[in-house]
A and B are shown apart, each in its own frame.
Chain A
Amino acid sequence: MIREITIGQYYPADSVIHRLDPRVKIVCTLLFLISLFVQNSLSGYVIATLFLVFVIRASKVPFRFIVKGLKAIILLLMFTVVMNLFLTKEGAVLLHFWIFTITENGLRISVFMAIRLIYLIIGSSLMTLTTTPNALTDGIESLLRPLNRFRVPVHEVAMIMSIALRFIPILLEETDKIMKAQIARGADLESGNMIQRTKAMVPILVPLFVSAFRRANDLALAMEARCYCGGEGRTKMKPLVYKRQDYAAYVIVVAYVVLAFVAGRFAPLHIWIF
């Protein structure tokens, strides 16, 4: 039942995108997201679409997996679109009934906003789908290393992140097991009012907390037994090293950003109101 949750899920496959250095994927995802939000023309979005299609094809992740991530933001998406559609007052009026007015600008902004949000989710899920959580934290740690100079404990933060990520599936599985065990003892988790349902969570939450603490304790012991004492002087078994494909990826993404920007600026492609 609880296995269905897919936030930050990794999709195992062997593709160029999977093999890229995590730093490349993080930086490029950021660049892509920025390019989406500075974009304000149809031609720019056409190029962004082509670029996304290209990356999705290269990643070998089935399209429906990527779309799954969109389910989570469907409410936010509808809210944004509706708000932009009805609350933008500038521009020529397209439609007017009772207290609602839809203007050309409103329609334009809400469509672009929807595209931005959808591409934002697709772009970032592509990153998490093709990068293992461990590689991702490695990448973040390496990218944030300059902050060490300002006494930010980058290694510790990255370690906390990777442990947290590592424990999500374990705790989900544990929750599933405890839920089943209590249901087998006749626990009723679905019916009743708010208070009854909250009360029904106690037999699940108490064992879950106990087990989370037990696991944390075991992990701390295991780490100490292997002489873990923070990031100082620690080396990596597989240090991140840029390879040729990583530079190529940077070049492609930068080329895309420049192309999208130039196209938006000099060939905005006007069709109707867009």
Chain B
Amino acid sequence: MKRRRFEENFFKGIMIFCFLLVASSLGFILFIVVMKGLPALNWAMLTQTPKGGYYLGKEGGILNAIIGSIYLAGGGTLLALILGLPIAFYVGVYSRKSKIADWVRLSLDILWGVPSIVYGAFGFILMLSMGMRASLLGGIITLALLELPIMTRAMDEVIRMVPRDLEQASYALGATRFETAFRVVIRQTLPGIITAILLAFGRGIGDAASVLFTAGYTDRLPGGLLQPVASLPLAVFFQLGTPFPEVQQRAYSAALVLTFIVLIISLGSRWLSNRLSRFAHE
């Protein structure tokens, strides 16, 4: 009996330890990024583009990357939404439980696990075949592909939660499926849809491997859809690659800015969905 109770307590202890280890790793990561990133962070970093000699440690900032990332992730999210919303509605409202819906869900789940570097390579092939070069548009398309499964699956999950009788009530009043989807279901699921959009945006803005091939990099602010564009993750990556400590310091600051943006989006979407769902359920 003593042995059994010891075993119980022993494993419970291990579990609590593991749990605390995982929970504290987030704190550890944030601590390191803040500690190393804060010293070099200043106003000029956030408001200026790189000046001549920036990569040797001279003046300038990463505004090009901040704006570029917002353009890239914003465009990618918009494109993913244009494609993802109809898919989520088709799967969730038009033909729930059909074979096609199952196949679409399965493919989305599979796409969700495809590494971003593979999307990058695919985007690169796509651009070559269209005769494009690394550009904002290329990055947007690639990010949209990356974000599509994340966003659509998240929307699908909330649409599934809509009570069946709500839809039935709508059909009973003579509404078409399109009307049901875009007038009834969308109102009920708006908080969830916004969360899904922000989730995808957060994933898009932090991704480096997919834009590496397709968006290029430039010290200037984004010029147009067909111009190359800088991004925050790559700003971190490239500045770390220089041999100058001052520049590496700035890489840490850029990482801090990126982390900050992503955390705000993650926490914000949680807050927003909590607030909005309170209204939705009246």
Bound together: no
Interface residues of B (CB under 8 A from A): none
